[in-house]
Amino acid sequence: MQVRVRYAPSPTGLQHIGSVRTALFDYLFARASGGVFILRLEDTDRTRYSEEYVKNLYDTFKWLGFYWDEGPDVGGPYGPYVQSERFPLYQARAKELIEKGMAYYCFCGEERLAKVRADQADSDTSEMGYDRHCRGLDPAAAAARIAAGEKAVIRLKIPLEGTTKFRDALLGDIEWKNEDVSPDPILLKSDGFPTYHLANVVDDHLMRITHITRAQEWIPSAPLHIIMYEAFGWEPPELVHLPMVLGADGHKLSKRHGATAVDEFRKAGYLPEALVNYVSHLGCSFEEGRDIFSLADLERLFKVERLNKAPAIFDYQKLEWYNGQYIRLKSDADLLGLVMPYLVQAGLLAEAPAPEPRSLALGAMPLVKERLRFLADAPIMLRYLFEEPPVPAPEEFIPKKLDKARAAELLAAGGALLPSCDLSDLEATEARYRAEAERLGAKFGDLMMPLRVAVTGSRVSPPLFESIRLIGIPKATARIGRAVAALS
């Protein structure tokens, strides 16, 4: 049996971390087992549906670097892969259950249903949900009412007694009392639209899905789906309920924990490889003592047995660490290509920069590669290379325990030494500045700090002498002169 797994999002919002993890595990499972990964759009919620969210779905996975084998945009043998294009299938299957006596027409209007809910809320009953008022209707009489044009929904007959059992590949055997299953849920609405449960089960069967991977919060819907499979006489797919992804506070990951939409991570300057690698470890383990895996590694190593039962904690600091590691692995040319959009957006470079500014940016990549946490940090770090920084406030130049006069003296001395330095020999240049600091009776750091602020406009910057080598000694000396004048 060939493994066939599916990612079935509803295009009613942006792609977020929890959904991407489910899709990633589906993809890895398919690749590890020689199977097929499928995308199906569950677009029956038309009130919240938006083409913007469909576009975001495609853009997100193209950026992440893993994709489906069958889907709306690539086709396949079991299409269409969009639920709104499959309505006749659902209508036929719902009527099939009517004919088998496993479902029935319900004519209860919203007014009556509202009264049922209100009465249940006011009473001490533990029974909640539909009261099965139409379950006992004569099927022939119900069919005649439908033929006469009366509107009705189709409801599934949930067994009134007993239990429903199913096996989860991760959690083991699960047993659910039928009295705790949602009572006789709607399968087909009066307008012919299917509910999630009907469309989901019918599509999974017709698309030959063998394994369903989803979060543990979906466990309560599993008995309902198993009952539907049994009603149709179909073999259900194997279920894999993934551990939850929690924030650091132990609650389900949400917007209050920061960026959860993948777009936000992308805009902040995370690399797709870092996000994929980190997300793959949320509830799964691969090899002890190793953190960095290529997508090919993950495809080879993934097994359902490696999944954890316990919830995973989303750690932004760990993800930041991953991002830094992947940035370090980039060549200078590749890193420039990645930060270029951020430099263009900041107005530091043109979209097609001239050779000189491009060369300057390329030369800066070794200076920032070890310091970048996110690609979006690049404009902040490199602005001084492309623009004259404003002269900071006097207090920015003053090392601890020194005053403005001493800072000005050190800055002037450092600036005077610079024209005679050979910046192709950084060791010799640093040695000269250390000797100058000793001559002035100052700490080396106290001599360098005012110099750094004058040249870069900040106390924190890429390596100073390498930066001066990039912009040139004349430009650096001019900036130092302005800063000395401001301090004096």
Return d(Cα 429, Cα 366) in angstroms, integer.
19
CB-based burial, 293-312: b 16+ in 10 Å, e otherwise: bebeebbebbebeebeeebb
CA atoms lying within 13 Å on the CB side of residue 414: 36
Q: Which H/E stretch holds residue 294?
A: none
Q: How many CB atoms lie within 10 A of CB 40?
A: 26
Q: Is 113 exposed, middle or buried (0-12, 13-18, 19+ CB in 10 A)?
A: middle
The answer to whether the CB of 194 falls within 8 A of the CB of 83 is yes
The answer to whether the CB of 453 falls within 8 A of the CB of 397 is yes
Return d(Cα 128, Cα 116) in angstroms, integer.
9
Cis ω before 80 (30° cut-off from 0): yes
Q: Is 201 exposed, middle or buried (0-12, 13-18, 19+ CB in 10 A)?
A: buried
Q: How many CB atoms lie within 10 A of CB 50?
A: 12
The answer to whether the CB of 13 falls within 8 A of the CB of 7 is no
Instruction: Catalytic residue, from 55, 100, 165, 255: name it.
Output: 255
Return d(Cα 61, Cα 38) in angstroms, integer.
13
The answer to whether 115 is a known catalytic residue is no
Rounded to 5 degrees, φ, ψ at 30 are -65, -45
Return d(Cα 257, Cα 278) in angstroms, integer.
17
The answer to whether the CB of 440 falls within 8 A of the CB of 406 is no
Return d(Cα 336, Cα 369) in angstroms, integer.
10
**Which amino acid is it at 365?**
M
List, as one string, the DSSP characters of 324-338: HHHHHTS-HHHHHHH
Query: What tokens appear for 131 in the block?
Result: 């009261």
Catalytic (active-site) positions = 255
